Amino acid sequence: MTRTQKNIILFLSVFTPALLVGVGVYAFQSYQSFAAQPLGPVLPLTPASLPPTWTPAPASIAQTGDVTLIPTLSFATSTPAPRAICGGPDIMNIVLIGADTRIDSYLYGLGDAIRLMRVDFITPKVSVLEFPRDLWVEIPHIADDLNGQDHEKLNQAYLYGQPGFAYWDDPSAGPGLLSLTLNLNFGAQVDHYAAINMRTFVNVVNAVDGIDIDVPDESTSKILSLPVGENHLNGDDALKIVRNRKNGTFGRADNQNIVLCALRKKLTNPKVVTKIPGLIRSFQDNILTDLTPAQLGQLACLGTKLPPENILFTSFPQELFTLTRVLDPVFEKKVSVWDVDFNTLSDYVARFQAGTWPEPRPAVETADQETEIICQ
């Protein structure tokens, strides 16, 4: 086994969604010459989430006559601060997009699955937050093409940015417009993107001879639409599970996370080494990303140091959302969307990106009903 093949296996074992965008690059012969070059157009700059300049309130300043007391100074200790491992940055935020197209072309396609992945190179830890696609959001750069309409569903931000519509003039296309939309509405800071279509997903699962999902009981059986016991799924079967809407938007997100965990488990099997050529063929020319080969190597390195409990899939608390309908001027009819306080979601996003939410715990469902799935 070559060193390149080992790196691919390690990265697949932990970062399946992001790797779907990058593994094909290892087929090139001159790795060093393009290691620092993004594999696609980079994202546009977004306003940084910087804390406001601190101005003390009058009550917070201790005074004696005309003398203002200087706040007590604190000095740093000699204890060195933790450093990022694997040559990576402290934190890397990647938006992961699953497009609903079944062909190789990326001209069109809605953002059928939208995840924000926070990669912590210090802890190390990986957290993945799901964004419901039916959020009614403001999408920048589309009003001129839609007769002044600047709101649509979140999944349409990706569609309107793709070459088929090209409602904004930027090479990052759909991933770039979706990233801007997440930033505008929720303050999300996105460093990189990775997008795949359904055909690529099916090819990936088939290339590793399918995945295995253990269904423990009848309730899980009803959720996944699979019989109790061990189930072996090919690519088309796995696609049916991740697109199953029987239990609504949040249920489908849980299904997707379970399938991704199963795929990760399969990819840790040493026998997958023989499948690398098939994986490369599946990924080539069917991926969108601005990650560089060097960054993929950093992520592969991090994969060797991540304990399973530090790989966490999560979603917003379900009780925050109420299904409602709004008039969509584009389609000239009412459409179903989620009614939710965006300030509350923005607070969750800020804590997610700060690494303070969620905290890994063994339960699948927490007291406030946000879903957390830990890949074992």
pLDDT tens track for 30-57: 445 557 888 889 998 776 544 433 333 3
More confident residue, 245 or 184: 184
Task: Flag whether pLDDT at 68 surpasses 50.
Answer: no
Per the document, the length of the chain is: 376
The structure tokens listed for 223 are 């959720």
pLDDT at site 294: 83
HSE-up (13 A, CA, CB side) for residue 345: 25
> Across the chain, what does the average pLDDT equal?
79
The separation between CA 101 and the C-alpha centre of its own chain, rounded to angstroms, equals 18
More confident residue, 85 or 309: 85
Domain ranges of the chain: 3-40+84-374
Cα-atom radius of gyration of the chain, to the nearest Å?
A: 22
Residues of the chain above pLDDT 70, percent: 71
- Please report, as a single letter, which amino acid is at residue 94: I
CB 136 within 8 A of CB 57: no
pLDDT at site 21: 45
pLDDT at site 368: 45
Q: What is 282-339 written as a DSSP string?
A: HHTTS-EE---HHHHHHHHHHHTT--GGGEEEEE--GGG-EEEEEEETTTTEEEEEEE
Beta bridge partners, 374, equal 312
CB 111 within 8 A of CB 174: yes
Most confident of 49-58, 63-72, 364-373: 364-373
Give the Cα separation of 359 and 309 in Å (integer). Answer: 10
pLDDT at site 280: 55
Name which of 89-103, 159-173, 221-235, 243-257 the model is least confident about.
243-257
- Tabulate helix, strand, coil % of the chain (nearest 5): 40, 20, 40
Question: Does the structural domain 3-40+84-374 have CATH classification 3.30.2320.80?
Answer: no
For the segment 306-365, what is each residue's pLDDT rounded down to a tens digit? 787 888 889 999 999 999 999 999 888 999 999 999 999 999 999 999 999 997 655 444
pLDDT at site 118: 96
User: Which one, of 130, 135, 99, 113, lies nearest residue 335 by Cα?
Assistant: 135
DSSP state of 262: H
DSSP state of 23: G
DSSP state of 58: G
DSSP state of 190: -
pLDDT at site 139: 97
Confidence label for 145 from pLDDT (cuts 50, 70 and 90): very high
249 φ, ψ (degrees, to nearest 5): -60, -45
Task: Flag whether pLDDT at 127 surpasses 70.
Answer: yes
pLDDT at site 34: 56
Residue for token pair 């109420």: 322
Task: Flag whether pLDDT at 67 surpasses 50.
Answer: no
Give the Cα separation of 204 and 276 in Å (integer). Answer: 10
DSSP E strand boundaries for the chain? 63-64, 67-68, 91-99, 111-120, 125-130, 136-138, 151-153, 192-197, 211-215, 229-233, 288-289, 311-315, 322-328, 333-339, 372-374
Residue 220: Cβ within 10 Å count: 14
For the segment 222-267, what is each residue's pLDDT rounded down to a tens digit? 778 888 999 999 988 988 888 887 777 777 778 887 887 787 777 6
Burial tier of 90 (Cβ tally within 10 Å: 0-12, 13-18, 19+): middle
Residues of the chain above pLDDT 90, percent: 38
Question: What value does the mean pLDDT take over residues 185-194?
Answer: 96
Give the Cα separation of 330 and 281 in Å (integer). Answer: 39
Residue for token pair 């001209």: 107
pLDDT at site 32: 54
Residue for token pair 């604190």: 74
